[in-house]
Amino acid sequence: MPEGHTIRRLARTHTTRFVGHEVAVSSPQGRFARDAELVDGRVLQRADAHGKHLFHVYADDLVVHVHLGLYGKFSLSAGEVTPPRGQVRMRMVGPTHWADLRGPIACEVLTEGEVEGLRSRLGADPLRRDTDPETAWARISRSRAPLATLLMDQSVIAGVGNVYRAEVLFRHGLDPLLPGRELGRERWEAVWADLAVLLADGVRRGAIDTVRPEDRTGRGRQVYVYRRTGQPCRVCGTEIQRRTHASRNLFWCETCQAAT
Protein backbone atom coordinates (compact mmCIF):
# COMPACT_ATOMS: atom_id res chain seq x y z
CA MET A 1 0.00 0.00 0.00
CA PRO A 2 1.38 3.45 -0.87
CA GLU A 3 2.61 5.21 2.27
CA GLY A 4 2.30 8.84 3.27
CA HIS A 5 5.22 10.09 1.21
CA THR A 6 3.56 8.87 -1.99
CA ILE A 7 0.31 10.71 -1.26
CA ARG A 8 2.10 13.91 -0.28
CA ARG A 9 4.10 13.72 -3.50
CA LEU A 10 0.87 13.29 -5.49
CA ALA A 11 -0.62 16.35 -3.78
CA ARG A 12 2.43 18.40 -4.77
CA THR A 13 2.34 17.16 -8.34
CA HIS A 14 -1.36 17.88 -8.69
CA THR A 15 -0.81 21.33 -7.20
CA THR A 16 1.77 22.07 -9.89
CA ARG A 17 -0.20 20.64 -12.80
CA PHE A 18 -3.84 21.38 -11.97
CA VAL A 19 -4.38 23.85 -9.12
CA GLY A 20 -5.61 27.26 -10.29
CA HIS A 21 -7.05 25.85 -13.52
CA GLU A 22 -10.38 24.53 -14.69
CA VAL A 23 -10.26 20.74 -14.66
CA ALA A 24 -12.41 18.44 -16.76
CA VAL A 25 -13.33 15.54 -14.47
CA SER A 26 -14.94 12.35 -15.74
CA SER A 27 -15.30 8.69 -14.90
CA PRO A 28 -14.69 6.50 -17.96
CA GLN A 29 -15.38 3.41 -15.85
CA GLY A 30 -18.66 4.92 -14.65
CA ARG A 31 -18.40 4.22 -10.92
CA PHE A 32 -17.54 7.86 -10.12
CA ALA A 33 -19.72 9.40 -12.83
CA ARG A 34 -22.34 11.10 -10.66
CA ASP A 35 -19.78 12.69 -8.34
CA ALA A 36 -17.56 13.65 -11.27
CA GLU A 37 -20.39 15.77 -12.67
CA LEU A 38 -20.35 17.85 -9.48
CA VAL A 39 -16.77 19.05 -10.00
CA ASP A 40 -16.37 18.79 -13.78
CA GLY A 41 -15.18 22.09 -15.27
CA ARG A 42 -14.50 23.72 -11.91
CA VAL A 43 -11.24 25.35 -10.84
CA LEU A 44 -9.18 23.11 -8.56
CA GLN A 45 -8.34 25.34 -5.60
CA ARG A 46 -6.05 23.11 -3.57
CA ALA A 47 -4.58 19.62 -3.40
CA ASP A 48 -3.79 18.33 0.08
CA ALA A 49 -2.85 15.13 1.87
CA HIS A 50 -3.28 13.71 5.36
CA GLY A 51 -1.58 10.38 5.85
CA LYS A 52 -2.73 8.07 3.07
CA HIS A 53 -5.68 10.28 2.08
CA LEU A 54 -5.63 12.71 -0.87
CA PHE A 55 -7.98 15.69 -1.14
CA HIS A 56 -8.79 17.84 -4.19
CA VAL A 57 -10.59 20.97 -3.01
CA TYR A 58 -12.99 22.75 -5.32
CA ALA A 59 -15.35 25.68 -4.70
CA ASP A 60 -18.87 25.40 -3.27
CA ASP A 61 -17.89 22.97 -0.51
CA LEU A 62 -16.86 20.16 -2.85
CA VAL A 63 -13.83 17.96 -2.12
CA VAL A 64 -12.74 14.87 -4.03
CA HIS A 65 -11.38 12.35 -1.53
CA VAL A 66 -9.12 9.55 -2.77
CA HIS A 67 -7.60 6.63 -0.88
CA LEU A 68 -5.47 4.41 -3.10
CA GLY A 69 -5.59 1.32 -0.91
CA LEU A 70 -3.40 -1.59 -1.97
CA TYR A 71 -3.85 -1.35 -5.73
CA GLY A 72 -4.80 2.24 -6.56
CA LYS A 73 -2.57 4.31 -8.78
CA PHE A 74 -2.51 7.69 -10.51
CA SER A 75 -0.85 8.06 -13.91
CA LEU A 76 0.13 11.51 -15.21
CA SER A 77 0.60 12.41 -18.87
CA ALA A 78 1.24 15.55 -20.89
CA GLY A 79 0.00 16.61 -24.29
CA GLU A 80 -2.74 14.97 -26.31
CA VAL A 81 -5.38 13.13 -24.29
CA THR A 82 -5.74 9.53 -25.42
CA PRO A 83 -8.68 7.14 -24.98
CA PRO A 84 -8.87 5.50 -21.53
CA ARG A 85 -7.09 2.19 -20.98
CA GLY A 86 -8.35 -0.23 -18.38
CA GLN A 87 -10.70 0.63 -15.55
CA VAL A 88 -10.23 4.39 -15.12
CA ARG A 89 -12.23 5.49 -12.08
CA MET A 90 -11.46 9.20 -12.51
CA ARG A 91 -9.86 11.20 -15.29
CA MET A 92 -8.64 14.76 -14.74
CA VAL A 93 -7.76 16.95 -17.73
CA GLY A 94 -6.03 20.29 -17.21
CA PRO A 95 -4.48 22.79 -19.64
CA THR A 96 -1.18 20.91 -20.05
CA HIS A 97 -1.49 17.56 -18.26
CA TRP A 98 -4.05 14.84 -17.62
CA ALA A 99 -4.24 12.16 -14.96
CA ASP A 100 -6.02 8.81 -14.69
CA LEU A 101 -6.90 7.11 -11.41
CA ARG A 102 -7.31 3.35 -11.32
CA GLY A 103 -8.15 0.90 -8.56
CA PRO A 104 -8.65 3.10 -5.46
CA ILE A 105 -10.64 1.89 -2.48
CA ALA A 106 -12.19 5.37 -2.17
CA CYS A 107 -12.96 8.03 -4.77
CA GLU A 108 -15.83 10.25 -3.72
CA VAL A 109 -16.99 13.83 -3.38
CA LEU A 110 -17.31 15.05 0.21
CA THR A 111 -18.19 18.32 1.86
CA GLU A 112 -15.60 20.21 3.90
CA GLY A 113 -17.45 19.12 7.02
CA GLU A 114 -17.23 15.48 6.02
CA VAL A 115 -13.52 15.91 5.32
CA GLU A 116 -12.97 17.39 8.77
CA GLY A 117 -14.82 14.45 10.27
CA LEU A 118 -12.60 12.03 8.37
CA ARG A 119 -9.43 13.88 9.36
CA SER A 120 -10.49 13.97 13.00
CA ARG A 121 -10.26 10.18 13.00
CA LEU A 122 -6.72 10.22 11.63
CA GLY A 123 -3.59 10.45 13.73
CA ALA A 124 -0.72 12.89 13.58
CA ASP A 125 0.94 13.11 10.16
CA PRO A 126 4.73 13.66 10.33
CA LEU A 127 4.58 15.47 6.97
CA ARG A 128 2.04 18.10 8.03
CA ARG A 129 3.15 21.38 9.58
CA ASP A 130 -0.12 21.68 11.49
CA THR A 131 0.16 18.25 13.11
CA ASP A 132 0.47 17.68 16.86
CA PRO A 133 2.70 14.72 17.76
CA GLU A 134 1.44 14.94 21.34
CA THR A 135 -1.81 13.31 20.25
CA ALA A 136 0.15 10.28 19.05
CA TRP A 137 2.30 10.17 22.18
CA ALA A 138 -0.79 10.33 24.40
CA ARG A 139 -2.09 7.15 22.74
CA ILE A 140 1.24 5.33 22.62
CA SER A 141 2.32 6.13 26.16
CA ARG A 142 -0.84 4.58 27.63
CA SER A 143 -1.08 1.56 25.37
CA ARG A 144 -0.22 -2.08 26.11
CA ALA A 145 -0.25 -2.77 22.37
CA PRO A 146 3.13 -3.46 20.73
CA LEU A 147 4.89 -0.75 18.74
CA ALA A 148 4.46 -2.85 15.60
CA THR A 149 0.70 -2.43 15.98
CA LEU A 150 0.67 1.20 17.08
CA LEU A 151 2.88 2.50 14.27
CA MET A 152 0.52 0.99 11.68
CA ASP A 153 -2.61 2.33 13.35
CA GLN A 154 -3.66 5.29 11.17
CA SER A 155 -5.62 6.78 14.07
CA VAL A 156 -2.33 7.07 15.98
CA ILE A 157 0.14 8.08 13.26
CA ALA A 158 -1.18 8.79 9.77
CA GLY A 159 0.92 7.85 6.77
CA VAL A 160 3.23 5.19 8.20
CA GLY A 161 2.97 1.83 6.47
CA ASN A 162 4.75 -1.48 6.59
CA VAL A 163 8.06 -0.26 5.18
CA TYR A 164 8.50 2.80 7.39
CA ARG A 165 7.34 0.83 10.41
CA ALA A 166 9.99 -1.85 9.96
CA GLU A 167 12.72 0.61 9.12
CA VAL A 168 12.19 3.15 11.90
CA LEU A 169 12.00 0.40 14.52
CA PHE A 170 15.31 -0.99 13.27
CA ARG A 171 16.98 2.41 13.10
CA HIS A 172 16.20 2.92 16.80
CA GLY A 173 16.97 -0.62 17.94
CA LEU A 174 13.43 -1.21 19.12
CA ASP A 175 11.84 -4.61 19.66
CA PRO A 176 8.69 -4.55 17.46
CA LEU A 177 6.73 -6.22 20.28
CA LEU A 178 7.67 -3.65 22.93
CA PRO A 179 4.45 -2.28 24.48
CA GLY A 180 3.91 1.37 23.68
CA ARG A 181 3.78 2.40 27.31
CA GLU A 182 7.31 1.06 27.81
CA LEU A 183 8.82 3.17 25.03
CA GLY A 184 9.56 6.29 27.06
CA ARG A 185 9.39 9.94 26.08
CA GLU A 186 12.98 10.30 24.89
CA ARG A 187 12.82 7.36 22.51
CA TRP A 188 9.41 8.45 21.25
CA GLU A 189 10.70 11.91 20.36
CA ALA A 190 13.61 10.35 18.48
CA VAL A 191 11.26 8.03 16.55
CA TRP A 192 8.90 10.87 15.64
CA ALA A 193 11.74 13.11 14.46
CA ASP A 194 13.18 10.28 12.40
CA LEU A 195 9.81 9.52 10.79
CA ALA A 196 9.48 13.17 9.77
CA VAL A 197 12.94 13.08 8.15
CA LEU A 198 12.44 9.71 6.43
CA LEU A 199 9.01 10.58 5.04
CA ALA A 200 10.21 13.97 3.79
CA ASP A 201 13.13 12.26 2.10
CA GLY A 202 10.68 9.83 0.51
CA VAL A 203 8.69 12.76 -0.89
CA ARG A 204 11.85 14.25 -2.36
CA ARG A 205 13.17 11.00 -3.85
CA GLY A 206 9.88 9.44 -4.82
CA ALA A 207 11.14 6.26 -3.12
CA ILE A 208 11.93 4.89 0.33
CA ASP A 209 15.64 4.80 1.23
CA THR A 210 16.44 4.39 4.93
CA VAL A 211 20.04 3.22 5.18
CA ARG A 212 22.55 5.54 6.82
CA PRO A 213 25.72 6.42 4.84
CA GLU A 214 27.97 4.32 7.09
CA ASP A 215 25.84 1.19 6.49
CA ARG A 216 25.42 1.43 2.72
CA THR A 217 26.77 -1.10 0.25
CA GLY A 218 26.73 -0.06 -3.36
CA ARG A 219 24.25 2.29 -4.95
CA GLY A 220 20.51 2.57 -5.34
CA ARG A 221 17.54 2.39 -2.98
CA GLN A 222 18.36 0.49 0.18
CA VAL A 223 16.53 -0.55 3.33
CA TYR A 224 17.65 -2.27 6.52
CA VAL A 225 15.11 -5.04 7.08
CA TYR A 226 11.98 -4.72 4.93
CA ARG A 227 11.65 -7.79 2.65
CA ARG A 228 15.21 -8.87 3.48
CA THR A 229 14.24 -12.15 5.17
CA GLY A 230 17.22 -14.46 5.55
CA GLN A 231 19.72 -11.86 4.38
CA PRO A 232 22.45 -10.59 6.74
CA CYS A 233 21.73 -7.52 8.81
CA ARG A 234 23.61 -4.54 7.39
CA VAL A 235 24.89 -3.71 10.89
CA CYS A 236 25.56 -7.00 12.73
CA GLY A 237 25.27 -9.77 10.13
CA THR A 238 22.42 -11.65 11.85
CA GLU A 239 19.80 -13.08 9.48
CA ILE A 240 16.78 -10.82 9.12
CA GLN A 241 13.59 -12.40 10.50
CA ARG A 242 10.00 -12.29 9.30
CA ARG A 243 6.75 -13.11 11.02
CA THR A 244 3.08 -12.33 10.51
CA HIS A 245 1.79 -9.64 12.82
CA ALA A 246 -1.83 -8.45 12.60
CA SER A 247 -2.09 -10.01 9.11
CA ARG A 248 0.94 -8.11 7.81
CA ASN A 249 4.55 -9.15 7.36
CA LEU A 250 6.89 -7.85 10.04
CA PHE A 251 10.66 -7.75 9.50
CA TRP A 252 13.35 -7.26 12.14
CA CYS A 253 16.84 -8.17 13.35
CA GLU A 254 16.88 -10.34 16.47
CA THR A 255 20.26 -8.93 17.55
CA CYS A 256 19.91 -5.21 16.84
CA GLN A 257 16.30 -5.19 18.06
CA ALA A 258 16.55 -7.64 20.95
CA ALA A 259 13.95 -7.44 23.70
CA THR A 260 15.25 -5.73 26.83
Active site residue 2: yes
The pLDDT-based confidence of 219 (bands split at 50, 70, 90) is confident
212 is catalytic: no
In contact, 171 and 210? CB cutoff 8 Å: yes
| Interval 99-116: pLDDT, tens | 999 999 999 999 999 999
Question: Which of 60, 74, 66 minimizes the C-alpha distance to 17?
Answer: 74
The yes-or-no verdict on residue 260 having pLDDT over 80 is no
Residue 248 is among the residues annotated as catalytic for this protein? yes
**pTM metric for this prediction:** 0.95
Taking alpha carbons only, the member of 151, 180, 156 closest to residue 167 is 151
Catalytic residue among 8, 9, 17, 52: 52
Among 42, 187, 242, 248, the active-site one is 248
Strands (E), 28-179: 42-50, 53-58, 62-67, 73-78, 88-93, 97-102, 106-110
pLDDT value of position 196: 98
**What's the rounded Cα separation, in Å, for the pair 123 and 256?**
28
In this prediction, residue 1 has a pLDDT band, given cuts at 50, 70 and 90, of confident
Span 153-200, pLDDT tens digits: 999 999 999 999 999 999 999 999 999 999 999 999 999 999 999 999
Residue 133 has pLDDT above 90, yes or no: yes
- Residues 6+ away with beta carbon under 8 Å from 9: 202, 203, 206
Distances (CA, A) of 11 to 41, 44, 106, 220: 19, 12, 16, 25
Spatial separation of the C-alpha atoms in residues 249 and 88, rounded to whole Å: 30
The residue-averaged pLDDT of 26-31 equals: 97
Where helices occur in 60-184 by DSSP H, the ranges are: 112-120, 133-142, 147-150, 162-171
Pick the catalytic residue from 2, 104, 146, 176.
2
CA distance 215 to 24: 48
Over range 240-244, report the average pLDDT: 97
Statement: residue 70 has pLDDT above 80: yes
Contact 109, 33 (CB under 8 A): no
Instruction: Please check whether residue 175 is in contact with residue 258, taking contact to mean a CB–CB distance below 8 angstroms.
Output: yes
Q: Of all helices (H) and strands (E), which one includes residue 17? A: helix 4-17
Give the pLDDT confidence score for residue 252 in this predicted structure: 98
Q: What is the pLDDT of residue 218?
A: 84
